[in-house]
């Protein structure tokens, strides 16, 4: 264990834990580091409160030993992540003994109708306009009030509270992205207790790039939400219209293409053709929803996961 003050000892432990988690998912690494730092700093603060003569540098080795060696903690997080990865990532089909495992396959064109992830992605794209409006309004209002109140004594506390709310909203959005898009996102809060008190925490929050990338994500969600909603509603409406054409024609005996002379003369054929085309565009819509969901998941990871 290196010599030095409590901050140096904790930082060294976190570096060792990060090294033990090398190659793991970035969100997992972020959770493990934040959990460890939260626990260690909280334990130091608790003991300091209980004993005014508490020597952090001397007591930290025992605190670290109680929490676990970096390799042991990393192994525990990896074991806990196994069922999560199995849930988020489709399982490749089994292979014959002695053959290498097959890569994860994308669903076939029509097989996508049985892929639940396509439907959750579609639902996310449809409802993203709601959170997008809220996030954009919250961010713009917070930025405007923070700048407007900066000349007053209330300006700094308000700006700090606003930045804290941005991080909380980013955490909540990450949980929604993980549940609906199948992308592993952080699940832990940033460290809440610093060795130098609230000033150090505020300084760390302002200097951390994740705070500002999260703010950018909240602002970006409105144009993205509007785009996703427009694309999905347009494609769903068009597909359902095509599927409904033979029903309207054969069941309700309504011709929906009266102005088209050739179509009116061959109404039965056109109605069946439109219905078959609808059966093709529904899987296409699901494929596009699945692809947009994957792209948005990558964007969310890039902006909300910072290691």
> How do residues 247-291 score in pLDDT, each as one tens digit?
887 787 766 665 555 555 677 888 888 889 989 999 999 999 999
- pLDDT, one tens digit per residue, over 114-141 is 988 999 999 999 999 999 999 999 999 9
200: pLDDT confidence band, cut at 50, 70 and 90? low
Q: What is the pLDDT of residue 257?
A: 61
pLDDT at 214 over 80: yes
Kindly indicate the confidence band of residue 177, based on its pLDDT and cuts at 50, 70 and 90: very high
- Residue 103 is predicted with a pLDDT of 43
Domain chopping of the chain, boundaries: 1-87
Tell me which of 38 and 236 has the higher pLDDT.
236
Which range (172-181, 239-248, 292-301) has the least confidence?
239-248
- The Cα 199–Cα 286 span in angstroms is 49
pLDDT the model gives residue 185: 86
The whole-number pLDDT of residue 296 equals 95
Of residues 231 and 53, the one with the higher pLDDT is 231
């Amino acid at each position: 264990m290196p010599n030095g003050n409590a901050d140096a000892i904790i930082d060294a432990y976190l570096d060792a834990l990060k090294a033990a988690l090398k190659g793991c998912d970035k969100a997992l690494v972020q959770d493990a580091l934040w959990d460890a730092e939260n626990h260690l700093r909280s334990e130091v603060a608790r003991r300091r409160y209980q004993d005014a003569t508490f020597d952090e540098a001397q007591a930290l080795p025992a605190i670290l030993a109680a929490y676990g060696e970096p390799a042991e903690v990393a192994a525990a997080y990896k074991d806990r992540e196994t069922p999560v990865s199995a849930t988020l990532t489709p399982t490749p089909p089994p292979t014959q003994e002695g053959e290498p495992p097959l890569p994860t396959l994308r669903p076939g064109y029509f097989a996508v109708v049985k892929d639940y992830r396509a439907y959750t992605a579609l639902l996310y794209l449809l409802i993203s306009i709601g959170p997008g409006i809220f996030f954009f309004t919250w961010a713009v209002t917070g930025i405007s009030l923070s700048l407007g109140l900066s000349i007053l004594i209330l300006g700094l506390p308000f700006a700090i509270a606003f930045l804290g709310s941005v991080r909380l909203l980013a955490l909540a959005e990450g949980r929604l992205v993980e549940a609906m898009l199948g992308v592993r996102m952080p699940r832990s809060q940033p460290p809440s207790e610093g060795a130098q008190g609230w000033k150090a925490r505020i300084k760390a929050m302002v200097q951390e790039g994740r705070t500002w990338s999260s703010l950018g994500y909240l602002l970006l969600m409105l144009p993205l939400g509007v785009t996703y909603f427009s694309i999905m509603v347009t494609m769903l409406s068009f597909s359902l219209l095509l599927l409904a054409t033979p029903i309207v024609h054969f069941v309700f005996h309504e011709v929906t293409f009266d102005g088209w002379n050739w179509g009116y003369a061959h109404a039965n054929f056109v109605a069946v053709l439109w219905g078959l085309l609808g059966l093709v565009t529904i899987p296409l819509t699901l494929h596009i929803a699945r692809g947009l969901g994957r792209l948005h998941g990558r964007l969310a990871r890039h902006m909300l996961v910072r290691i």
